[in-house]
Amino acid sequence: MKTVSLLNLKGGVGKSFTSVNMAYELWRRGSRVLLWDNDKQGNLSKAFARYEAEQTAPVARILSGDWQNSEKLIQATDYEGIDIITANLSLFGAAWNLVKEGGADMTERYRRFLKAGINNQTEDSICQNYDYCIIDNPPDIGINVVNALVVTDEVIVPVKIDENALEGLDIVAGQIEEAKALNPSLELKGVLITIYQNTDGEAAGLEWLRQEWDNAESKHYRQYKVLGRIRYSAKVAENSFVKKPIYEYSPCCGAAQDYKHFVTIYTGIGR
């Protein structure tokens, strides 16, 4: 199972929307996907109509270590082959308590869950049930995000091009480098440009990022590989009310086609 974290320390860049549509497109191509909502706002859980405000969320129980059977914390969605670990505001309390209590294993809670036996069979694990795990992270580096980075193979940074986009990328890249002390195999896979409008300013920003990737001799060189760009579409705003992947709601719109192209680039497998 490959674990992918969507991470940016800026809000409003389409992390949850990308998590939904990346998972859906991988599923359409035959992959089994586990979605992990790691944000107390629960936007990913809401997108799949699995949000419960009053209960202690499964992700909070994982972080606090308050669980026995790992399977009971994973819910099916309406798409057979896409499952989800949900979140709500209880995640904030779980993270706060874990930091307050401390302990040598405080960064290992998510790893312990993923390696847990299925049906009490210790030779089996959740990882064997899925091809991908996609973690939707909040715009911060709390203990829940540190736990996510410990189990992550690749980080994708959704970016909305503006004057502060590069600064945000630098901070994320720095946090990933620090997290490699806990997970040496962690890799910044690249950036996904979101909510893209083909204005002169955004086109120039996109071109600059691509040039920085290509120009390894530049003293400002940073390894921010551009994995794709998702065009702005009014259909995306409409889609937030119907809670469907954008390809199901409007398969011909630019955003739906762009997510298809992005997943093709990411996996190297056409569809």
- Do residues 163 and 54 lie in contact, with contact meaning Cβ atoms separated by under 8 Å? no
SS3 256: helix
Q: Where are the domains of the chain?
A: 2-267
Closest CA to 91 of 29, 47, 39: 39
pLDDT tens by residue, the chain, 271 residues: 999 999 999 888 999 999 999 999 999 999 999 999 999 999 999 999 999 999 999 999 999 999 988 889 999 999 999 999 999 999 999 999 999 998 889 999 999 999 886 555 555 688 899 999 999 999 999 999 999 999 999 999 999 887 676 667 888 889 999 999 999 999 999 999 998 887 877 777 777 676 655 554 444 445 578 899 999 888 887 877 777 899 999 999 999 999 999 999 999 876 6
Query: Within a 13 Å sphere around the CA of 70, how many CA atoms are in the beta-carbon half?
Result: 21
- Total number of residues shown for the chain: 271
Q: Which residues contact 260 (CB under 8 A, 6 or more apart)?
A: 25, 247, 271
CB atoms within 10 A of CB 241: 8
What CATH number has the domain spanning 2-267?
3.40.50.300
Question: At CA 40, angle to CA 38 and CA 44, rounded to 5?
Answer: 60
pTM of the predicted model as reported, rounded to 2 decimal places: 0.91
